[in-house]
Amino acid sequence: MSVGAPRALASSGQKPITEILHPLSAAEEPLSATVGGDKQEVGLTNGTPVETSSPASTSSLFNRLQLDDDLEADVRDPYADSSETRDLFVTVDDPKKHVSTMETYITYRVSTKTSRVEFDLPEYCVRRRYQDFDWLRIKLEDSQPTHLIPPLPEKFVMKGVVDRFSEEFVETRMKALDKFLKRVADHPVLSFNPHLNAFLTAKDLNKRQGLALLSKVGESVKHVAGGYKLRARPAEFCAMGEYLDTFNQKLGTIDRIAQRILKEQSEYLTELREYGSVYSSWVGSEDELLRPLEGVAGCVTTSCGALEDLGENMSQDFLPVLREYVLYIESMKNVLRKRDQSQAEYEGRLEAAILRKQEDRTPVEVEKCQDKMECFNADLKADWERWQSNKRQDFKQLLTGMADRNINSYEKSQAAWESLITLLQDKQTEDKTSETN
Amino acid sequence: MAEDGREESVAADDDSQHTAEDGIHSLNNTMVEEGPTLLRRMEICVAEAEKRSGKNTVNMQETFTVYLIETRPMDALAEGRNPAPDSLWRRYSEFELLRNYLLVTFPYIVVPPLPEKRAEFVWHKLSADNMDPDFVERRRVGLENFLLRVASHPVLSNDKILHHFLTEEHGWKEVVYETGFQAKADSRLKALSATFRVRNPDKRFMDMKHYSDELQSHTSQLLRARARVADRLYGVYKVHGNYGRVFSEWSAIEKEMGDGLQSAGHHMDAYAASIDDILEEEEHYADQLKEYLFYAEALRAVCRKHELTQFELEMATQDLISKKQQHEELATGIVRTFSFKGMTNKLFGQEAPEQREARLKLLEELIEEGEEAVKDKTVECEEHVEKAWVDMQRFKEQKDKDLREALINYAVMQVSMCKKGIQMWSNAKECFLKM
């Protein structure tokens, strides 16, 4: 077995399926893989070739496990990607408006820093628009159907309702695109996808297919052997599906609550401003009370400002992340459905083969299907773990951020009121001493 | 009424007298005037409120609230003794009667107001029902405040009727009516007419009247705006309670995140609940503002009284002048101004000399009366101006001090609210970090 450079996927069509070990098993038997250009493509049910030259794809992963003495750690979390070993960094920033005769749109700067050999240069800097991100995502979905592709921010915005060129909208979208790209770049399989490479490096993206015509390929997969239904979905995938449904529901509720809070806060803010102005207008008829009244008006204004910031932050940072996860859940459910279909296909073919009373040796196509299904299952499970872990981090960050922002808002308000108290109380003692004198 | 040199007054009572919730003891401490000339003789408090049932004047069954007034002599307390207080029950309408009496008897004094008759500036969570326990409690405090203010006033505190009110439960009403104060009350129409027709009111009083309008306008605006703000703030806090429920439901499907989420949810519930106490406390601030809203009216009443006395003086003076003129005309025969008498004389001939004599005599008497009237009115007017000006100055100082303190206390409340909020969110944050 050769060491070092990643190689092509070892074909699994030349051995009985039972002899191929699950890559995640702790077994130490080497996988006798064929070397080199024997890239017998394992096809998707719709015929699109799977490009899996990634070193972390299920089969070659096992090879890597071989080389590592510490099997334990890798078996526990084979997709562990500690930051020290990261070799691909991407950033999306610097939005700019482009005006052409046909249309106006925004482009973003996509910067890449990498030490990977798949890239010719260590650094790249290109400009991409939303369409390009969309293209990338579709390409990824097509080429890696067994993997969970991170979601993009909403494509369509209702003109007239949202200003596509407003600072807040662009900022929010950019952050989401940045997150999308980072998630892809962090994924052990997706980050090696050649489409990603092209996206990050090409001067002009040659998007061969018209985007308008492309539907989400994954969803149009209908090829199931004679409408065959699943025998039994493995329990863990059922659990995943249930979890996603409930989680989706809860996210929806949280989104509604957050929006309601924003609305209530905005109405509170309106009344608060009016309230502050009453103090200001009272100042005109008082002399001794001038300072305290002005002071109170000032503190109310400060509180209003703090609240305004809070609302802005929440709508810009909090809500988009929630919505993103809803999209993520949609993606995940799609992948689960595809997996189901892969299983259904396998079982269908198996049953058909049995009915045709073929020899003991299972036919090649059935083996291929089984292999596909098992790869799918493995990929999905690994991605699921990864997704769960990321989700935990993301929500920890999100909720902590929400708490921080609220604390910050109160702190600003408290500081203003406290300084007013000090000011007024000092004046009081001042007056008292001058009275007794 | 006033004993020579000694003016009775009352001290602020200590908190131990209160059987009801405290929380506004600071309110009481600001209410009492202290000074070298005021002796503290009696400790007063409105200790309790109770519901009673009885038949009213039209023989219908009604429920009303009575308030227990307790008094104790200060000298006994100073000596360290702790005698049982004297007490009697009074209802709101009796307080009103007392105040009306004071208004009429001391028209140059800015008479402290009573707490509102009906709950106003109510935001949705607050009850507008007069029987609501919170309302009754706030009213009890307001009534006590009223008594303390009156009893510590340099002029009002000496009034006998006030003393009776505090010490004689039965028969007090009859005593008040016997003073005949109701007859002395100025009719509204008279007062209104004076406002429009007076020619030379004291400028200071006009300024003060204008100020009373401003004070009233601003305090009522503030109270309305504050009620709306309270309503909205309540909504904001309460919606956060929904987080509590959804975090709890969500934690059920999570493994590692579950505990953190669940406890964070509890803190969100606590946050939502915290608004009730916060707004309850703020009602005290609203009560302080309300007092001065009503005080503005009392101030305006003093200014109006001035307008009235000045107007009456002007009328009396005018009347005297016209009578003197008439006399002169009659005596000299020269008609300077148009008069019906003059016309009829021209038309029908002059009257007989005896009649003329009689009329002259009458006019002279009237002139004498008129001069007395003018003298009296002048004295009345000047006295009113003098005394009223003193009391208005006193009022201004009191108002500045009280409102300033109220504003500072409001700031303190806001700081407390911020601190609570920070505490709650910090607790929640800790739970999130443990997720």
- Report CA dihedral (B264, B265, B271, B273) to the nearest 10 degrees: -150
Q: How confident is the model at residue A92 (pLDDT cuts 50, 70, 90)?
A: very high
Q: A45-59, A405-419, B179-193, B411-425 — which is least confidently predicted? A: A45-59
Q: Cβ of B415 and A421 within 8 Å?
A: yes
Question: What is the pLDDT at residue A379?
Answer: 87
Question: What is the pLDDT at residue B336?
Answer: 63
- The length of chain B is 435
Q: What's the mean pLDDT when you consider all of chain A?
A: 77
Mean pLDDT of B198-209: 92
Residue percentage of chain B with pLDDT more than 90: 50
SS (H, E, C) chain B: CCCCCCEEEEECCCHHHCCCCCCCHHHHHHHCCCCCCEEEEEEEEEEEEEEEEEECCCCCEEEEEEEEEEEEEHHHHHCCCCCCCEEEEEEHHHHHHHHHHHHHHCCCCCCCCCCCCCCCCCCCCCCCCCCCHHHHHHHHHHHHHHHHHHHCCCCHHHCHHHHHHHHCCCCHHHHHHHCCHHHHCCCHHHHHHHHHHCCCCCHHHHHHHHHHHHHHHHHHHHHHHHHHHHHHHHHHHHHHHHHHHHHHHHHCCCCCCHHHHHHHHHHHHHHHHHHHHHHHHHHHHHHHHHHHHHHHHHHHHHHHHHHHHHHHHHHHHHHHHHHHHHHHHHHHCCCCCCCHHHHHHHHHCCCCHHHHHHHHHHHHHHHHHHHHHHHHHHHHHHHHHHHHHHHHHHHHHHHHHHHHHHHHHHHHHHHHHHHHHHHHHHHHHHHHHCC
Is the ipTM higher than 0.85? The answer is no
Q: pLDDT tens-digit profile of A139-155?
A: 998 888 888 888 888 77
Q: How far apart are CA A186 and CA B300, in angstroms?
A: 76
Q: Which of residues 23-52 of A touch B (CB under 8 A)?
A: none
Q: How far apart are CA B295 and CA B288, in angstroms?
A: 11
Q: pLDDT tens-digit profile of A312-363?
A: 999 888 988 898 899 889 888 888 888 888 888 888 888 887 777 766 556 7
Q: Is the pLDDT of residue B146 over 70?
A: yes
CB atoms within 10 A of CB B338: 8
Q: Cβ of A293 and B407 within 8 Å?
A: yes
Q: Is the pLDDT of residue B20 over 70?
A: no
By the CB < 8 Å criterion, does A425 face chain B? yes
By the CB < 8 Å criterion, does A407 face chain B? yes
Q: Is the pLDDT of residue B363 over 70?
A: yes
Question: What is the pLDDT at residue B335?
Answer: 64
Tokens standing for A12? 């699994």
Q: pLDDT tens-digit profile of B394-431?
A: 999 999 999 999 999 999 999 999 999 999 999 999 99
Count how many pairs of residues, chain A against chain B, have C-beta atoms within 8 Å: 144
Q: A19-23, A167-171, B24-28 — which is least confidently predicted? A: B24-28
Tokens standing for A94? 């610097």
Q: How far apart are CA A78 and CA B285, in angstroms?
A: 63
Question: What is the pLDDT at residue A397?
Answer: 92
Q: Which has more pLDDT, B240 or B327?
A: B240
Q: Cβ of B407 and A428 within 8 Å?
A: no
Q: Cβ of B407 and A296 within 8 Å?
A: yes
Contacts of B138 (CB under 8 A, 6+ apart): B115, B283, B287
Q: Is the pLDDT of residue B39 over 80?
A: no
Q: pLDDT tens-digit profile of B174-186?
A: 888 988 888 888 8
Interhelix angle A319-355/A167-186, rounded to 10 degrees, is 40
Q: Cβ of A403 and B246 within 8 Å?
A: no
Which of B264, B403, B425 lies at the smallest CB-CB distance from A406? B425
Contacts of A413 (CB under 8 A, 6+ apart): A299, A302, A303, A306, B414, B418
By the CB < 8 Å criterion, does A292 face chain B? yes
CA distance B286 to chain A (A): 13
Which of A281, A282, A289 lies at the smallest CB-CB distance from B400? A289
Q: Which has more pLDDT, A43 or B66?
A: B66
| A40 φψ region: left (φ > 0), alpha (ψ -120 to 50), beta (else) | beta
User: What Rg, from alpha-carbon coordinates, does chain A have?
Assistant: 29
For residue A274, the chain B residues in CB contact (below 8 A) are 225, 228
Which candidate in B217, B218, B231, B256 is best for mutational testing of the A interface (most A CBs within 10 A)?
A: B218
Residue percentage of chain A with pLDDT more than 90: 31
By the CB < 8 Å criterion, does A318 face chain B? no
The whole-model pTM stands at: 0.76
Which of A253, A278, A428 lies at the smallest CB-CB distance from B246? A253
Residue percentage of chain B with pLDDT more than 70: 85
Q: Is the pLDDT of residue A32 over 70?
A: no
Q: What's the mean pLDDT when you consider all of chain B?
A: 84
Q: Is the pLDDT of residue B27 over 90?
A: no
For residue B231, the chain A residues in CB contact (below 8 A) are 271
Nearest CA-CA partner of B169 in B89, B99, B245, B223 = B89
Q: How confident is the model at residue A14 (pLDDT cuts 50, 70, 90)?
A: very low
Question: What is the pLDDT at residue B231?
Answer: 93
Question: What is the pLDDT at residue A233?
Answer: 81
Which of A257, A281, A299 lies at the smallest CB-CB distance from B243? A257
Question: What is the pLDDT at residue B112?
Answer: 95
By CA distance, what is B435's nearest residue in A?
A: A396
Mean pLDDT of B304-324: 92
Q: How far apart are CA A36 and CA A53, in angstroms?
A: 12
Q: Cβ of A410 and B235 within 8 Å?
A: no
Q: pLDDT tens-digit profile of B116-134?
A: 888 888 777 666 777 788 8
Tokens standing for B108? 């140059």
Q: Is the pLDDT of residue A61 over 80?
A: no
SS (H, E, C) A1-12: CCCCCCCCCCCC
Which candidate in B207, B300, B404 is best for mutational testing of the A interface (most A CBs within 10 A)?
A: B404
Q: Which has more pLDDT, A114 or B30?
A: A114
Question: What is the pLDDT at residue A229?
Answer: 60
By CA distance, what is B246's nearest residue in A?
A: A250
Q: Which has more pLDDT, A349 or B276?
A: B276
Question: What is the pLDDT at residue B26?
Answer: 37
Q: Which has more pLDDT, B320 or B122?
A: B320
Which candidate in A247, A248, A410 is best for mutational testing of the B interface (most B CBs within 10 A)?
A: A410
Which candidate in A240, A414, A431 is best for mutational testing of the B interface (most B CBs within 10 A)?
A: A414
